[in-house]
């Protein structure tokens, strides 16, 4: 099994929620998932890097970020809203033009399953 490079570790002593199998995520394509009461967008990038951010576009409040456009600024991966093309840092969720950012979630892989930490 390939070991994934996962972003934003959760604080110690937290609870994780299994979302999907690694193989369920197509590379360079987003998938939406409902975790607890939160919609998240999961992305698997080349090199098996996995990111999770909020699926709600901060500008329009539409649940569309999983259909965003994957890109990069330098070596940092980004996601652009499919509606207004606002660009966000995938690792931390910051809006690169200074607007409201996306929430970024800690992600890990255990036994082939992607797990996301969602604060209570």
- Taking the CB of residue 48, how many other CB atoms lie within 10 A of it? 15
Residues in contact with 22: Cβ distance below 8 Å, sequence separation at least 6, in sequence order: 2, 4, 44, 48, 50, 109, 112, 113, 114
- Taking the CB of residue 44, how many other CB atoms lie within 10 A of it? 21
Largest CA distance in the chain: 39
pLDDT tier, 37 (very low <50, low <70, confident <90, very high otherwise)? confident
CATH number at 5-116:
2.102.10.10
Question: What separation in angstroms does the CA of 86 have from each of 68, 75, 119?
Answer: 10, 18, 26
Domain borders along the chain are 5-116
Q: What is the pLDDT of residues 45-86, one digit of tens each?
A: 998 899 999 999 999 999 999 999 999 999 999 999 999 999
């Amino acid at each position: 099994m390939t070991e994934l490079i996962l972003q934003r570790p959760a604080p110690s002593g937290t609870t994780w929620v299994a979302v999907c199998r690694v193989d369920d995520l197509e590379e360079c394509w987003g998938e939406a998932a409902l975790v607890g009461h939160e919609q998240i967008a999961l992305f698997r990038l080349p090199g098996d890097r996995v990111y999770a951010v909020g699926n709600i576009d901060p500008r329009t409040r539409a649940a569309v970020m999983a259909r965003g456009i994957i890109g990069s600024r330098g070596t940092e991966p980004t996601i652009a809203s499919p509606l207004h093309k606002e660009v966000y840092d995938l690792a931390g969720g910051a809006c690169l033009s200074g607007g409201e950012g996306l929430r970024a979630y800690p992600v890990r892989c255990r036994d082939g399953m992607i797990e996301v930490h969602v604060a209570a």
